[in-house]
Amino acid sequence: MVEIAGHRIGLGESKHISVEVDRLPTGLMVEIPVFVFNGKELGPTMLLQGGLHGDEVNGVEIIRRLLEEKTFKIERGCVIVVPILNIFGFLSTSREVSGKDVNRYFPGNKNGSLASRIAYYHTKAIAANIDFAIDFHTGGDQRNNYPQIRYTKGSERGEALAQIFNAPFRFESALINKSFRKEAHKHHIPVIVYEAGESNRLDDKAIEIGIKGVKNILSQLDFTSIKQPIDQQKSVHLNKRKWLRAPIAGMFHSLIENGTFVKKGEIIGKVTDTYGLTSAPIKAPQSAYLIAINHFPIVKRGDALYHIGW
Q: Are residues 150 and 285 in the same domain?
A: no
Among the three residues 220, 248, 281, which one is the final residue of a domain in this structure? 220
Buried b (16+ CB within 10 A) or exposed e, 5-24: eeeebeeeeeeebebebeee
Whether 157 and 267 map to the same domain: the answer is: no
Q: Each residue of 120-158: pLDDT tens digit?
A: 999 999 999 999 999 999 998 889 999 999 999 999 999
**Statement to judge: residues 280 and 137 lie in one domain:** no
pTM above 0.85, yes or no: yes
**Run of H or E residues at 60:** helix 57-68
Residue 229 confidence (pLDDT): 84
Give the CATH number of the domain where residue 162 resides: 3.40.630.10
pLDDT of 248 reads 96
Q: What is the mean pLDDT of the chain?
A: 96
Q: 3-state class of 57 per DSSP?
A: helix
Q: Evaluate if residue 230 carries a pLDDT over 80.
A: no
Rounded Cα distance, 282 and 271, in Å: 8
Q: Is 229 domain-assigned?
A: no
Tally of structural domains, the chain = 2
One domain, residues 7 and 151: yes
- d(C-alpha 136, C-alpha 86), whole Å: 12
List, in sequence order, every residue forming a beta bridge with 215; answer none if it has no partner: none
* Domain that residue 54 falls in: 2-220
What proportions of the chain, in percent to the nearest 5, are helix, strand and coil? 25, 35, 40
**177/286 same-domain check:** no
Q: 21-30, 59-68, 274-283 — which is least confidently predicted?
A: 21-30
17, 153: one domain: yes
Q: Are residues 212 and 243 in the same domain?
A: no
The verdict on 147 and 24 lying in the same domain is yes
Domain identity same for 143 and 175: yes
Statement: residue 232 has pLDDT above 80: no
Alpha-carbon radius of gyration of the chain? 20
Taking only the tens place, the pLDDT of each residue in 280-295 is: 999 999 999 999 999 9
Q: What is the pLDDT of residues 37-52, one digit of tens each?
A: 999 999 999 999 999 9
Same domain, 21 and 167: yes
Q: How far is CA 10 from each of CA 7, 34, 36, 41, 148, rounded to the nearest angstrom? A: 10, 15, 10, 10, 35
| Residue that finishes a domain, picked among 160, 185, 220 | 220
**136 and 59 Cβ atoms separated by less than 8 Å:** yes
Q: Check: CB of residue 182 under 8 Å from CB of residue 191.
A: no
Contact 34, 81 (CB under 8 A): yes
Task: Note whether 169 and 238 are within 8 A (CB).
Answer: yes
225 domain residue, yes or no? no
CATH number of the domain enclosing 247: 2.40.50.100
Give me the pLDDT at residue 309, please: 98
Q: Are residues 268 and 211 in the same domain?
A: no
Q: What's the one-letter identity of residue 288?
A: A
Tally of CB atoms within 10 A around 124: 15
Characterize 98-118 residue by residue with b for buried, 16 or more Cβ atoms within 10 angstroms of its Cβ, and e for exposed: eebbbbebbbbeeeebbbbbb
Beta strands 236-237; 169-173: pairing state: parallel
